[in-house]
Amino acid sequence: MRLAGRETPARGRKGLTIEPKNAWTVKFFLEKEAREVSTDRIGPAEQDAANPAQQMGRLRFGVSVVEVLTVRRVSVEFTARSSWWTRGGAKPAAVCAVREVSFSVAAGEALGLVGESGSGKTTTARAILMLVRPTAGEILFLGRNLCQLPAGEIRELRSRMGIVFQDLNGALNPRLRIGAIVEEPLVVQRHLARKDRRRRVATLLEEVGLDRALADRFPGELSGGQRQRASIARAISTDPALLLADEPVSCLDCSVQAQIINLLKTLREQRGMAMLFISHNLAVVRHLCDRVAVMYRGEIVEQGGCADILVSPKNDYTKRLLAAAMATDRGVLE
Ligand SMILES: Nc1ncnc2c1ncn2[C@@H]1O[C@H](COP(=O)(O)OP(=O)(O)OP(=O)(O)O)[C@@H](O)[C@H]1O
Ligand SMILES: [Mg+2]
């Protein structure tokens, strides 16, 4: 398991450094490790070496030992449906959208997930959110295996994940005002009184670069860039440990893309969130992410530091993807 570029102590079967037998004890220690700011496990030198966003994330979310997100050999299959279109022909085969995918994201770290259309990026994100059930593997979020939790606990943990989608129109309810949209996750979470929620919404809007007066507008009365900023404000409203951003800038023009990317970068650094950033745009991934995982036909074919993978890729598919993307990506951010 990685930690600030160093190896953490060897772990047992359950991912713990100790090996308790009792199921309750295992659960207790996993939760304890996820909560504690265990500076005892990280020497001062290692702390200094870590990037500031990762340090911030450890302090805020207490996840110095366990990564925020660990995806282990996760597969997702969709069962085929028979319909008028397929009747008379061969029975359609089940679609294996994601096949034995493994990666992890530490606090304050951004992992880019890239790959061609249909390679399984969104399905991977949906599996992390438990919107589709993985057919195999495990997803550990803050040390808890989401695949084994009851629906109530999944909902609670999901409130610690922020989501920003590509589809600007579908993501924001057109009948709600921006203030109510940003406030919604806080209402569900029930931690704050109404007055405090309103104050928080105003602060969030300013944090993402929107005038607080826009809280009274409907999504249709905002520009694309403003809508995506509102969407980001809602995603970070519950102070998530993990931000899942699925093609958050692909609907925007180049100048607005750069602003949104820089906003995400700043928020990640200030808040120490872990980030899974899905994109076709390799220039954007290089600018924003520490590491990158390349998906092809449902599998991760290569992953590592952006500097390695996006400069000297080893895998043939990554080389092709990079060559194809170079020409169009150049000039977006510089
Ligand atoms: N609900 C579903 N039922 C059946 N197949 C699905 C379903 N959702 C996705 N798929 C299939 O899974 C594969 C991966 O889809 P996914 O949306 O994850 O791709 P993607 O990498 O996000 O593509 P894009 O870059 O175009 O968004 C595709 O072949 C898609 O048709
Ligand atoms: Mg997608």
* pLDDT tens readout for residues 26-54: 555 555 554 443 333 333 344 444 566 66
How far CA 99 is from CA of 67, 74, 139, in Å, comes to 22, 6, 14
Q: At 298, is the pLDDT very low, low, confident or very high (cuts 50, 70, 90)?
A: very high
SS3 assignment, position 284: helix
Nearest-angstrom CA–CA distance, 165 and 245: 6
Distance (Å) from CA 201 to ligand 1 centroid: 34
Nearest-angstrom CA–CA distance, 93 and 8: 42
Take atom 12 of ligand 1 and give the residue whose Cα is closest.
97
CA dihedral 141, 147, 148, 153 (to 10 degrees): 60
Q: Which of 76, 77, 82, 121 to mutate to test the pocket of ligand 1 (most atoms within 8 A of CB)?
A: 121
Nearest-angstrom CA–CA distance, 9 and 137: 23
**What pLDDT score was predicted for residue 255?**
79
Distance (Å) from CA 296 to ligand 1 centroid: 12
Determine the atom of ligand 1 nearest the C-alpha atom of 80: 4
Residues lining ligand 1, CB < 6 A?
78, 95, 97, 115, 117-123
Neighbouring residues of 210: CB distance < 8 A, sequence distance ≥ 6: 178, 226, 229, 230, 233
Q: At 327, is the pLDDT very low, low, confident or very high (cuts 50, 70, 90)?
A: low
How far CA 196 is from CA of 60, 190, 231, 284, in Å, comes to 21, 11, 20, 36
Q: At 220, is the pLDDT very low, low, confident or very high (cuts 50, 70, 90)?
A: very high
Answer yes or no: is pLDDT of 22 > 70: no
Nearest-angstrom CA–CA distance, 246 and 126: 10
Nearest-angstrom CA–CA distance, 114 and 121: 7
DSSP 110: E
Q: Which of 115-129, 142-156, 167-181, 318-332 has the lowest mean pLDDT?
A: 318-332
Helices 194-207 and 178-189: angle between axes, nearest 10 degrees = 120
How far CA 231 is from CA of 111, 236, 253, 274, in Å, comes to 20, 9, 17, 18
Nearest-angstrom CA–CA distance, 181 and 172: 7
Q: Identify the residue with better confidence: 152 or 28.
A: 152
Q: Can you tell me the mean pLDDT for 309-313?
A: 86
Pair of tokens at residue 285: 């991934």
Within 10 Å of residue 115's Cβ, how many Cβ atoms? Answer: 24
Neighbouring residues of 85: CB distance < 8 A, sequence distance ≥ 6: none
**What pLDDT score was predicted for residue 44?**
39
User: How does pLDDT run across 63-117, given as a tens digit for each residue?
Assistant: 544 589 999 999 999 987 666 666 666 666 788 999 999 999 999 999 999 999 9
Take atom 25 of ligand 1 and give the residue whose Cα is closest.
117
**What pLDDT score was predicted for residue 249?**
84
Domains and CATH numbers, the chain: 2-81+92-160+240-329 (3.40.50.300), 174-238 (no CATH)
**What pLDDT score was predicted for residue 45?**
40
Distance (Å) from CA 282 to ligand 2 centroid: 15
- Of the candidates 135, 119, 136, the one whose C-alpha atom is nearest the C-alpha of residue 299 is 119
- On whether the pTM is more than 0.95, the answer is no
Nearest-angstrom CA–CA distance, 250 and 117: 13
SS3 assignment, position 141: strand
Mean pLDDT of the chain: 81
Distance (Å) from CA 318 to ligand 1 centroid: 20
Determine the atom of ligand 1 nearest the C-alpha atom of 116: 25
Answer yes or no: is pLDDT of 7 > 50: no
Q: Identify the residue with better confidence: 230 or 83.
A: 230
Which ligand gives the minimal distance to the CA of 79? 1
Answer yes or no: is pLDDT of 122 > 90: yes
Take atom 19 of ligand 1 and give the residue whose Cα is closest.
118
Answer yes or no: is pLDDT of 5 > 50: no
Q: Identify the residue with better confidence: 153 or 94.
A: 153
Q: Which of 8-12, 218-222, 223-227 has the lowest mean pLDDT?
A: 8-12
Pair of tokens at residue 241: 């440990």
Distance (Å) from CA 66 to ligand 1 centroid: 30
Q: At 311, is the pLDDT very low, low, confident or very high (cuts 50, 70, 90)?
A: confident
User: How does pLDDT run across 279-293, given as a tens digit for each residue?
Assistant: 988 888 998 999 999
